[in-house]
């Protein structure tokens, strides 16, 4: 086994968004230095890193130079090109490895991997032509969802097909690229499990988190989810199967649909910390970000127990454009701390924690930050965090 990457060493992060920012903030108390690599400057992660490298992911000379300057490399989003990951591995350990990246970057590969490992999903089929789509609709039926195989998140790259006559328009709307057709599922709830696996194979998880979405973007997460113990245990077991099959070292999240018959269906995975796990920063003994640091550096995994039930609400750029009492509508072009929502309205609330990501420009649908509430019950935590966010829109 590789030597432990001891505190005081340097962690390299591919990507420089809010997940990298929160990883950096979690790694700092353990004494780690942070270098980030992305095509942009003054990024959420770069603002709190020791070194911010700005270069294209396909600039492999720059990638190799970056990897030579760190002791271990991880990533904060899964669309890192495969060649970039391989170039990093020439000079530093990369966790999770390229296999997890490869699987998560393509929806068809991902669903095929789930099925090959005996994990339940919605019915699906590959679509590479309009003829494939027509055949898939015959096989799966309507309604169904046509999704681009790559580069889709937060509802992007997908269209619902209610009738076979809509097939041609749906195919054109995808750009006629490789797609996957999935059967429509009338789910009862959306769930996720965030878990970690160490370099020694040890496994730790944060139980099941319940999620609600708005406009295909995660809106509110709450934990622990109110589930039958057997269903919760099954979800965790499935995530462990995924991590072991891919030999993941690090943090990974699997999103599920739960049907009215209490059947779990795997939807997708992310081989990194996840938006639904942000509540672990306040709620758990060890956050998902500290856990990522521990796992990729070969340290013992931390305690994942919840201190209290918790809920998290996303803050989207839309809030920066909302009308406030006594103020003109905000342009959304300023930094988080200049204009926009009235943060004092929320910061005076004793049970609310505010996290802002340092993004300089607000845009509709853009994740700018989040709020977390802890309480004696999940229901109370959700009520508190929703009420707090509502104050920001006034």
Task: Please spell the DSSP secondary structure of 154-221, one letter per residue.
Answer: TTTTEEEE-SGGGHHHHHHHTTS--EEEEE---EEEEEEEEEEE-TT--EEEEEEEEEEEETTEEEEE
Dump pLDDT digits (tens) for 346-361.
Answer: 999 999 999 999 999 9
Q: How many CA atoms lie within 13 A of 96 on its CB side?
A: 31
If one compares 154 and 23, the residue with the highest pLDDT of the two is 23
Dump pLDDT digits (tens) for 220-243.
Answer: 999 999 999 999 999 999 999 999
Dump pLDDT digits (tens) for 163-182.
Answer: 999 999 999 999 999 999 99
Residues 6+ apart with CB under 8 A from 361: 332, 333
- Name which of 311, 357, 390 is nearest 22 in CA terms: 357
Domain architecture of the chain: domains with CATH: 10-94 (3.40.50.20), 123-183 (3.30.1490.20), 187-392 (3.30.470.20)
- pLDDT value of residue 151: 72
Backbone angles phi, psi at 283, to 5 degrees: -80, -30
Q: What is the pTM of this model?
A: 0.93
Residue 38 confidence (pLDDT) above 90: yes
How does residue 339 score in pLDDT terms, banded at 50, 70 and 90? low
Residue 334 confidence (pLDDT) above 60: no
Residue 153 confidence (pLDDT) above 80: no
Q: Please give the share of the chain, as a percent, with pLDDT higher than 90.
A: 88
Torsion over CA of 62, 66, 67 and 70, rounded to 10 degrees? Answer: 170
């Amino acid at each position: 086994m590789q030597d432990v990457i001891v505190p005081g060493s340097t962690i390299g992060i591919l990507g420089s968004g809010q997940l990298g920012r929160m990883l950096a903030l979690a790694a700092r108390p353990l004494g780690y230095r942070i270098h980030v690599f992305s095509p942009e400057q003054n990024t959420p992660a770069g603002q709190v890193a020791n070194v911010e490298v700005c270069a294209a992911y396909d600039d492999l000379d720059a990638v190799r130079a970056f990897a030579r300057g760190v002791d271990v490399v991880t990533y904060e989003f899964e669309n890192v090109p495969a060649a970039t990951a391989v170039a990093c591995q020439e000079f530093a350990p990369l966790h999770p490895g390229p296999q997890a990246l490869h699987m998560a970057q393509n929806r068809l590969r991902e669903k095929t991997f789930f099925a090959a490992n005996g994990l339940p999903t919605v019915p699906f089929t590959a679509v590479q032509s309009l003829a494939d789509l027509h055949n898939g609709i015959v096989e799966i039926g309507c309604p169904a969802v046509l999704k681009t195989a790559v580069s889709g998140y937060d509802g992007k790259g997908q269209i619902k097909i209610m009738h076979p006559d809509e097939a041609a328009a749906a195919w054109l709307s995808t750009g006629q690229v490789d797609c996957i057709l999935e059967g429509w599922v009338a789910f009862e709830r959306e769930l996720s499990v965030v878990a970690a696996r160490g370099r020694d194979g040890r496994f730790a998880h944060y139980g099941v988190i319940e999620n609600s979405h708005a406009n295909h973007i995660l809106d509110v997460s709450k934990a622990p989810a109110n589930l039958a113990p057997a269903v919760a245990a099954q979800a965790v077991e499935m995530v462990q199967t995924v991590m072991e099959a891919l030999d993941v070292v690090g943090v990974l999240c699997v999103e599920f649909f739960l049907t009215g018959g209490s059947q779990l269906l795997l939807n997708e995975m992310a081989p990194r910390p996840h938006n639904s796990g942000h509540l672990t920063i306040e709620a758990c003994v060890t956050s998902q970000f500290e856990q990522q640091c521990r796992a990729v550096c070969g340290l013992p995994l931390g305690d994942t127990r919840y201190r209290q039930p918790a809920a998290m609400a996303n803050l989207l750029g839309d809030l920066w454009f909302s009308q406030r009492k006594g103020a003109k509508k905000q342009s959304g072009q300023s930094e988080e701390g200049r204009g926009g929502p009235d943060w004092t309205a929320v910061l005076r609330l004793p049970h609310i924690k505010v996290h802002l990501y340092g993004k300089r420009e607000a845009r509709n649908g853009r994740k700018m930050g989040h709020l977390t509430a802890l309480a004696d019950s999940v229901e109370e935590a959700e009520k508190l965090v929703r009420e707090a966010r509502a104050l920001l829109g006034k």
